[in-house]
Structure 1
Amino acid sequence: MAIEVTPAVLPHLVVDDAAAAIDFYVKAFGATELGRVPGPGGKLIHAALTINGSTVMLNDDFPEFNDGKSTTPKALGGTPVTIHLTVTDVESKFEQAVEAGAEVVMPLEDQFWGDRYGMVRDPFGHQWSLGQPVREVSPEEIAAAMQNQQ
């Protein structure tokens, strides 16, 4: 029997404490845990969640399998990646993340591209943006707004 595969792009996060990260994502973003695979010493070698209808994978940091280097955002001094959530009630979803322990990076504001948008950093160093489209904006309006930003 062949296994059906659905092509996808999924974020795969490395964290210092995967079990605590799962708990945080449940509280902050309403995640649903799909499963976890414990490894040596209780560290998780794999876990999967759904957040906002999409799958997110994560695992504990295993420097021993990465030339002795940690690959968590904290060990790297930050992250160049932002994971974006488009939501229908950005005010409550943003507040939920902050109440769960996320740090505000950029407060919620109406943006020139038509979204109410803000950014948070989770306790594990990963950055998340939350946005809700609030008005239609033409490409010309965006271009004009960009000119005014400079």
Structure 2
Amino acid sequence: MAIEVTPAVLPHLVVDDAAAAIDFYVKAFGATELGRVPGPDGKLIHAALTINGSTVMLNDDFPEFNGGKSTTPKALGGTPVTIHLTVTDVESKFAQAVDAGAEVIMPLEDQFWGDRYGMVRDPFGHQWSLGQPVREVSPEEIAAAMQKQ
């Protein structure tokens, strides 16, 4: 029997407490847990969720496998990566994330590219943006608006 492979790009998050992160993502983003694999000490060596129809993988931090260095956003002083969710009800989804414990980085606002958009940081240091297209904008209008920024 052949193994079916579906090409994909999936974020794989490293966090300090993967079990708590799963609970947060369920509350904040309506995630569905697909599974988790605990190691002998109970730390999760792998877990998978679906968020907004896409798979997100995560695991606990294991500095012992990275030359003694932690690789969580908090340990690194932040993250250069933002995970974006396009949603159909951005007001309620944004509020849900904040109510679950996310920190607002950028409040929801209508943006020049046509989305109502905002950003949050989860309790584990990962950045998320949430956006909902609210109007069509031509490339020319976007270019003109960018000149004003």
TM-score (norm: length of structure 2) = 0.99
Q: Distance in 2 between matches of 1:26 and 1:50?
A: 9
Shift of 1:68: 0.7
Aligned residues: 149
In the TM superposition, structure 1's runs of 4+ consecutive aligned residues that sit over 4 Å from their partners are: none
Structure 2 unaligned residues grouped into runs of 5+: none
Give the superposition deviation at 1:123: 0.1
CA-to-partner distance for each residue in 1:55-82, whole Å, 9 max, x for gaps? 0000000000011100000000000000
SS in 1 for 2:41: helix
Q: What runs of 5+ residues in structure 1 fail to find an aligned partner?
A: none
3-state SS of the aligned residue for 1:42? coil
SS in structure 2 at match of 1:4: coil
SS of match in other structure, 2:69: coil
- Equivalent-residue separation in structure 1 for 2:16 and 2:72 (angstroms): 7
State the Cα RMSD in Å: 0.5
- Scaled by the length of structure 1, what TM-score is found? 0.98
Secondary structure of residue in 2 paired with 1:131: strand
Q: Report the Cα offset of residue 127 of structure 1.
A: 0.1
TM superposition shift of 1:40: 2.8
Q: Distance in 2 between matches of 1:97 and 1:146?
A: 29
CA drift of 1:2 comes to: 1.2
**2: distance between equivalents of 1:57 and 1:40?**
20
Deviations 1:70-113 (A, max 9, x none): 00000000000000000000000000000000000000000000
Aligned counterpart, 2:29: 29
Deviations 1:15-62, CA, capped at 9 Å, x for gaps: 000000000000000000000000131000000000000000000000
**What SS does structure 2 have at the residue aligned with 1:144?**
helix
Aligned to 1:75: 75
CA distance in 1, matches of 2:60, 2:2: 31
Tell me the distance in 2 between the aligned counterparts of 1:39 and 1:126: 23
